[in-house]
Chain A
Amino acid sequence: MEQIQDYNQISKKEKLKKWFDKITPYIFISPFYILFVVFGLFPIIFSAILAFNKWDGIGDMEFVGMQNFNRLIQDSEFWLSVYNTLIIWIIGTAPMILAALVIAFLINLKIIKYKNFYRTTMFMPYVTSVVAVTILFGLVFSSSSGLANGLLQFLGFERIDFINDPFWVKLVIASVNIWQYIGYNMIIFFTGLQRIPKDYYEAAIIDGASNYQIFSKITIPIIKPIILFVVMMSTIGGIQIFTEAQVLVPTNATAEGGSLTVVYYMYKIAFERSNYGYGATVSWGLVAIIIMFSILNWYLTTKRIKGEE
Chain B
Amino acid sequence: MRKFNVSSIIIRGVLLLGVAFSAFPFYWMIVTASRATTEIYSVPPKFTLGDELLNNIYTVFESTSFFQSFLNTLFIAVVSTTLILFFDSLAGYTFAKLKFKGRHTLFVILLSTMMIPGLLNIIPQFIMMDTIGWVGSYKALIIPGMVNAFGIFWIKQYAEGAIPNTLLEAAKIDGCTTFGIYWKIALPILRPSLAFLGLFTFMQSWNDYMWPLIILNDPEKFTLMLELTQLQGLYFTNYPLVITGTLLATIPILIVFFIFSKQLMSGITEGAIKE
Given the complex of chains A and B, what is the CA–CA distance between A111 and B5 in angstroms? 11
| CB atoms of B209 and A32 under 8 A apart | no
Per-residue contact bits, chain A 10-30, to B (CB 8 Å; 1 contact, 0 not): 000000000001101110110
Given the complex of chains A and B, what is the CA–CA distance between A117 and B12 in angstroms? 13
Question: Which chain B residues lie closer than 8 Å to A230 at the CB level?
Answer: 272
Given the complex of chains A and B, what is the CA–CA distance between A273 and B26 in angstroms? 37
If A124-B22, A135-B243 touch, whether A188 touches B272 (CB-CB below 8 Å) is: yes
The answer, yes or no, to whether B1 is at the interface (CB within 8 Å) is: no
The answer, yes or no, to whether A258 is at the interface (CB within 8 Å) is: no
| CB atoms of B121 and A32 under 8 A apart | no
The answer, yes or no, to whether B152 is at the interface (CB within 8 Å) is: yes
Per-residue contact bits, chain A 184-208, to B (CB 8 Å; 1 contact, 0 not): 1001101110010000000000000
Question: Which chain B residues lie closer than 8 Å to A287 at the CB level?
Answer: 117, 119-120
Stretch at the interface among B49-57, B93-101, B189-197: B93-101
Given the complex of chains A and B, what is the CA–CA distance between A71 and B102 in angstroms? 44
Stretch at the interface among B13-21, B59-67, B159-167: B13-21
| CB atoms of B11 and A106 under 8 A apart | yes
- Give the shortest distance, in Å, between A139 (CB) and chain B (any CB): 5
The answer, yes or no, to whether A122 is at the interface (CB within 8 Å) is: yes
| CB atoms of A139 and B268 under 8 A apart | no
Chain A residue with the shortest CB-CB distance to B102? A26
- Give the shortest distance, in Å, between A224 (CB) and chain B (any CB): 13
| CB atoms of A128 and B87 under 8 A apart | no
Per-residue contact bits, chain B 142-169, to A (CB 8 Å; 1 contact, 0 not): 0110111100100000000000000000
| CB atoms of A132 and B228 under 8 A apart | yes
Contacts between chains A and B (CB distance < 8 A), count: 252
The answer, yes or no, to whether B232 is at the interface (CB within 8 Å) is: yes
| CB atoms of A150 and B122 under 8 A apart | no
- Give the shortest distance, in Å, between A132 (CB) and chain B (any CB): 5
The answer, yes or no, to whether A284 is at the interface (CB within 8 Å) is: yes
| CB atoms of A151 and B95 under 8 A apart | no
- 27 contacts across the A-B interface (CB closer than 8 A): A22-B100, A24-B179, A28-B179, A31-B91, A33-B106, A33-B109, A42-B128, A43-B124, A47-B124, A50-B124, A99-B18, A102-B14, A121-B22, A122-B22, A124-B23, A124-B254, A125-B22, A128-B250, A129-B225, A131-B209, A135-B242, A135-B246, A138-B232, A140-B28, A188-B273, A247-B232, A283-B123
Which residues of A does B touch, CB under 8 Å?
21-22, 24-26, 28-29, 31-33, 35-36, 39-40, 42-44, 46-47, 50, 57, 99, 102-103, 106-107, 109, 111-112, 117-125, 127-133, 135-140, 142, 144-145, 147, 150-151, 153-154, 179, 182-184, 187-188, 190-192, 195, 211, 226, 229-230, 233, 236, 240, 242-243, 246-247, 250, 263, 266-267, 270-271, 276, 279-280, 283-284, 286-287, 290
* A-B interface, 4 closest residue pairs, ranked by CB to CB distance from nearest: A129-B207, A43-B124, A191-B269, A46-B124
